[in-house]
Structure 1
Amino acid sequence: MNLRITGHPAAPYARARRVGFTFEGRTLHGYEGEPVATALHAAGVRVLSRSFKYHRPRGIGLTCGAPSCPNCQLTIDGQYGVPGCATPLRGGETVRRERSWPSADRDLFGLIDRFSAFVPAGFQFRLFRRSPRLAHLAERVMGLVAGGAREVTPDAIARAARPGLGHRRTALAVVGGGAAGLAAALAAADAGMEVILVDQGEEPGGTLRAETGPVRTPDGGQTPGFALVAGLAARAAAHPSIEVLAGSTALGWYEGGVLPVHTPAGVLTLRPERLLVATGDYDQPLLFPGNDRPGVMLAGAVQRLINVDHVRPGHRAVVVTADPHGYAVAAQLRAVGVEIVALVDARGEAEAGADAAASFPSGVAASGVPHLTGHTVREALGRRRVTGLVVQHRNGARIVRLSCDVVVVSAGRRPAEELLLQRLYHGDITLDAGFGGASGDGGLPGGVAVAGGAAGVTDPAAALDMGAEEGARLARWSP
């Protein structure tokens, strides 16, 4: 099966220009603008890196969307540690994998994993503690094995260097361009306020860019999630009072309200009078043996892969879920030609069946997909990539072995509140339960608000309403 999706049933996609790049001595092709990791995955490259300590194989989709994802770091044009899932393909790049020898597919240092019992957590702090000279030598060796102590070329340094763009003041900075952030920016701008919208993506829209299911609109109707945020993003781009900084990252929120932003053109230091944090949320992984193998993917990453990049994650998938989102992703996978081997849910039949009914209106049984309720994951099989999944009934009486090349995990989401937590650790704000509500309480300064997934609101329609409400409130607030 070709992993490229040529006829998507719900999300139209006009492929960009086909470009070539060099990957470890061979020429591969992808489409301009798609993530480098996606292009590699579509070309059949499953192992994108190795872990620092045990050199376990890592692949796409394991922690995609998390604030700091180390699992698809690549060397691109001589620059180390480039996140492949967040770096758009332009064509002509030279790409190779890291932390392996002689190759990531067959890494000699992978033997460390076989003897992991002899190198437990924190062993390096006790190693040669009676001999500082040997301890220092051991540190250097471990740094080399972990992929450190590498010399960056002058050309790579010159390409990575970004000039300082100076300081700018603005009435409102909105961090995050999902539904809540876009709604907040539009509400504030419509009230006459100057707004700078900071978003990490190449295009605003957040996780709803990958949502093909219906979402309630402000007028009470319904539209696919990707269409909703596309309309909001178009309005924001055309609004004379909104400046959109796409492909940009807010590096922190510091004393005095300083907000440095890393943009493609350089580092811009913002000093907003008001700040709205709409950084969204991200998937949480499940803990089970083998949960880090290539082929184990989070549901949000799979959605982006099939609905935005139009690439299948594999051929045969087991979906492990504990919420309605997992069933929706399973239905979307079936729609693009991926076989669903089984739906695994640790909850009881009544609760799981209610969630399944929304995505499988004719019933899971009628669809021919085994529905294993009351089952938990025992382990993932395979070494360099997933080849199967073992699940067990909660009473321990039944063990089922499933053959697959993809395991999709939907175990709930957590707020991307790191920007707030960074300031919290500084000690000048507090975060109480229910922070970021319409009242602005919860220990946040008066000109600061939180909306959408960052405030724990997972429903897209509710996030949209909350963003608009908070944007309007900040427009009324006086410093």
Structure 2
Amino acid sequence: MTRLGTPYGSRLDRTRPVRFTFEGKAYHGFAGDCIASALAASDQWVLSRSFKYHRPRGIMTMAGAEANTLVQLPSEPNVPADLTPLQDGMMVTAQNVNGSLENDRDAVIDRFGRFLPVGFYYRTFMGPRQDSWLRFWEPMIRRKAGLGIVDVKAPHLSFDKAHLHCDLLVVGAGPAGLSAAISAAQAGADVLLCDDNPEIGGSLTYRRCDPGILFSLAAKAAKLPNLRIMTGTICNGWYEDNWLPLIQGNRLYRTRAREVVLATGAIEQPAVFRNNDLPGIMAGGAVQRLLRHYAVQPGRRAVVLAANDDGYDSALDLVEAGVELAAIVDPRPNAGDRAGELRARGIGILAGAPIEEASGTRGNKHVTRVRIGSRWIDCDLVAVSVGSVPAWQLPCHAGAIVGYDDATARMTLSLPVGAAVRLAGAVAGKSRLQSAMADGRRA
């Protein structure tokens, strides 16, 4: 196991080692690790197989925004390895494999992908006579499909419920959510702020920014007795009259709020190129989370696809963490404003040239190189920053409509007139730090 030294690893307690198994093999991490970070620190990057073609899958966002990291615990299927805290003695296995994760017999299906388009089984095996589908093909396909295994003999667990009431519920404790909660509490409102992360701060805990901003916000929040903060808490939906279920551990809080602000942030998107799903290709935010939260160096030689300033921030973070930067690829005709800082460090920038293809090891278990035009560049990490979409789930519960803005080339959310909630920060299109904080105060 290799880890970066301090100040990396903000979530780790290095004095408390944790032992666990994955696919029957022994591993260890630290208290504060998640399953995915502990495996990555031990150079285990393949976590699962894809649903249909059984292609190797690895970390993409480190934020639970994709199915790549779903794993099986003895009595619980479909557990997100990038969100689930590591516990001593955990027995973790991969899902959707036939044989073993490393040698999945069903991986042969990938070779016939061109003959198995989306929905082929509906068109091929269903018709006027559905007997063959029901009696033969359907059971066969169902055995191949599905993800985790439900243990009907799993031990019974205890769950309880409680009731909460507040003037304002803020969902998301990033810069916008913190600013909204502090402003409302300073005005005298009874405020509840919840976040699914183990700490407050959101992007401030892993992005390249002034740490004093988070310290200042946290200090202001701590001085407000009418501001309650609940971390490790999932807001599981929005219902009529601002009724929201908050889940913290094994407890469900039935929460009724007079007003609601959703500061749920944005979800990074992958870039489209051939073999863009290989393990070792991940979002820039995932790279930064691995570095700052878990002290994991995500690669030794990296290519960064940067279509925005976030990509340049990821590149600088990688250089400072000792990763060799093979190239920065900026698909825009002119490189961004941050290009000069990297050129001064002797790092080449390829402007106006997107990544067209990636190539992997035998069995596609890790990326080994990428192609830009006719040029191949060796690497074991590709960090992708090409944009994001608003975290739309909760806003859409409250009636928001997803749209697209041609001027900014971004997905948008619009709330109906008289909506019972407000949006703030990146979910409302305010991705810059200062504008996100101002938007939180406005909301």
TM-score of the alignment, normalized to the shorter chain, above 0.5: yes
| Corresponding position of 2:380 | 405
- Structure 1 pair 259–12 and aligned structure 2 pair: CA distance change class (3 A): closer
Amino acid in the other structure paired with 1:374: G
Which SS does the other structure have where 1:443 is aligned? coil
| Corresponding position of 1:142 | 141
Amino acid in the other structure paired with 1:371: I
| Corresponding position of 1:203 | 199
8 Å Cα contact 2:96-2:148 kept in structure 1: no
* Range moving further from structure 2, 122-131 or 270-279: 122-131
| Corresponding position of 1:356 | 339
Amino acid in the other structure paired with 2:394: L
The equivalent position to 2:265 in structure 1, one of 277, 280, 288, is 280
| Corresponding position of 1:340 | 325
* Residue correspondence of structure 1 range 369-448 to structure 2 within 5 A: 369-382=347-360, 383-392=364-373, 399-424=374-399, 443-445=416-418, 448=421
* 1:151 lines up with 2:150 in the alignment: yes
Q: Which deviations, in whole Å up to 9, do the C-alpha atoms of 1:387-441 show, x marking residues without a partner?
A: 110112xxxxxx11011111000001221122112332xxxx668999xxxxxx9
| Corresponding position of 2:426 | 453
Q: TM-score by structure 2 length?
A: 0.90
Structure 2: gaps (5+ residues): 406-413
Q: What's the CA shift for 1:14?
A: 5.8
8 Å Cα contact 1:212-1:307 kept in structure 2: no
8 Å Cα contact 1:209-1:230 kept in structure 2: no
| Corresponding position of 1:132 | 130
* 1:295 lines up with 2:273 in the alignment: no
Aligned residues: 430
- Structure 1 pair 19–238 and aligned structure 2 pair: CA distance change class (3 A): farther
Task: Judging by fraction of residues, say which structure has more helix.
Answer: 1
Which SS does the other structure have where 1:328 is aligned? helix
- Structure 1 pair 151–418 and aligned structure 2 pair: CA distance change class (3 A): closer
* Range moving further from structure 2, 131-140 or 97-106: 131-140
Q: What's the CA shift for 1:230?
A: 4.3
Amino acid in the other structure paired with 2:42: A
- Structure 1 pair 444–144 and aligned structure 2 pair: CA distance change class (3 A): farther
Structure 1 moving runs of 4+ over 6 Å: 9-13, 429-434
Q: Which deviations, in whole Å up to 9, do the C-alpha atoms of 1:249-298 show, x marking residues without a partner?
A: 11111222221122213222211110001001121111111111100000
Q: Quick one: distance in 2 between partners of 1:35 and 1:450? A: 30
- Structure 1 pair 315–432 and aligned structure 2 pair: CA distance change class (3 A): closer
| Corresponding position of 2:86 | 89
Q: Quick one: distance in 2 between partners of 1:188 and 1:177? A: 14
Q: Quick one: distance in 1 between partners of 2:20 and 2:181? A: 38
Which SS does the other structure have where 1:97 is aligned? coil
Amino acid in the other structure paired with 1:181: G
Q: Quick one: distance in 2 between partners of 1:300 and 1:149? A: 27
8 Å Cα contact 1:283-1:412 kept in structure 2: yes
8 Å Cα contact 1:318-1:340 kept in structure 2: yes
8 Å Cα contact 2:309-2:336 kept in structure 1: no
Amino acid in the other structure paired with 1:151: V
Q: What's the CA shift for 1:9?
A: 7.7
- Structure 1 pair 129–433 and aligned structure 2 pair: CA distance change class (3 A): closer
| Corresponding position of 2:116 | 119
* Residue correspondence of structure 1 range 129-278 to structure 2 within 5 A: 129-130=126-127, 131-136=129-134, 137-148=136-147, 150-155=149-154, 158-159=156-157, 162-163=159-160, 165-213=161-209, 223-224=210-211, 227-237=212-222, 239-278=224-263
Which SS does the other structure have where 1:279 is aligned? coil
Which SS does the other structure have where 1:38 is aligned? helix
Which SS does the other structure have where 1:256 is aligned? coil
Which SS does the other structure have where 1:113 is aligned? helix
8 Å Cα contact 1:50-1:104 kept in structure 2: yes
The equivalent position to 1:319 in structure 2, one of 299, 304, 311, is 304
